[in-house]
């Protein structure tokens, strides 16, 4: 994925209207790499989301592994929110993921004020799932 969390912040700052920001979020979702059909199952589904959201976790070996995520959703805006979370968390060490304040990032983007309660709850469920996977990666085998 080419968008970084900093480039997303910069683009959000550039866009004044929320309608433009929503369009941008949808574009971020459209730019996600294809999600494997084999991982569209209950094991990869994020519970607590009104829309269908799937998350595939791939972790490297080691005590504090780098974790990469792939994700998808059946809803356009939610797919864009998945893209933002992947930009924030994917490719980072498990310890970094656990200490990242995703809520602060959402506040800095203004998303905390502009999402429906259902979408905000779904986003929190996705964050919990990502952090839970990072915590599991830090546990001794």
State CA 113 to chain mean position distance: 18
Quick check: is 49 catalytic? yes
Q: Are 82 and 126 in contact (CB under 8 A)?
A: yes
Over 87-140, what HEC string results? HHHCCEEHHHHHHCCHHHHHHHHCHHHHCCHHHHHHHHHHHHHHHHHHHHHHCC
Termini Cα distance of the chain: 30
Active-site choice (8, 25, 46, 49): 49
Catalytic site positions: 49
């Amino acid at each position: 994925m080419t968008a970084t969390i900093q480039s997303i912040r910069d683009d959000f700052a550039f866009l004044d209207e929320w309608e433009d920001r929503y369009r941008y979020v949808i574009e971020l979702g459209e730019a996600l790499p294809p999600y494997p059909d084999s991982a569209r199952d209950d094991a990869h589904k994020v519970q607590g989301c009104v829309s269908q959201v799937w998350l595939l976790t791939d972790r490297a070996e080691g005590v504090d592994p780098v974790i990469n995520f792939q994700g998808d959703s059946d809803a356009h805006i939610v797919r864009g929110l998945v893209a933002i979370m992947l930009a924030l968390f994917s490719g980072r060490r498990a310890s970094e993921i656990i200490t990242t304040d995703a809520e602060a990032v959402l506040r800095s983007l203004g998303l905390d004020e502009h999402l429906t309660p259902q979408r905000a709850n779904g986003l929190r469920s996705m964050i919990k799932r990502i952090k839970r996977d990072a915590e599991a990666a830090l546990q001794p085998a």
